[in-house]
Amino acid sequence: MGIDRRAFIFKDELIGVMYLSSTGHFSYTERDRRLAERVANQISGAIANALIFTKLKRAEGALRMTQLALETRVEERTAELLKINQDLQTEIIERKHAQDR
């Protein structure tokens, strides 16, 4: 029985292994090994792209949540400042009336 394996490596990191086996006394040729190596390289790239895409989507989600939280804080603070400004305007008017008497 012939057994061969090819590593899925991306940026010097092992991300998977492909095992090849055959029944009988078959031995893989050099051509078979080169083909397996090319397939492993393609699969490594696809897995790496999927991992990058997943990380990107998670980062986008976290950024979106942070943006929403920040927008909420800005709205709350703006409302507080408007209230404070109105209170100050009212106090100014009351003091002017008091001075005019």
Which DSSP state fits 24?
Answer: T
Q: Dihedral sign for Cα 21, 23, 28, 34, please.
A: negative
Q: Give the start-to-end residue ranges of the domains of the chain.
A: 2-100
pLDDT in tens, 28-81: 788 888 888 888 888 888 998 999 999 999 999 999 999 999 999 999 999 999
Burial tier of 20 (Cβ tally within 10 Å: 0-12, 13-18, 19+): middle
pLDDT recorded at residue 73: 98
Instruction: Please determine, for residue 21, whether its predicted confidence score (pLDDT) is greater than 70.
Output: yes
Q: Dihedral sign for Cα 71, 74, 79, 80, please.
A: positive
pLDDT recorded at residue 52: 93
pLDDT recorded at residue 2: 62
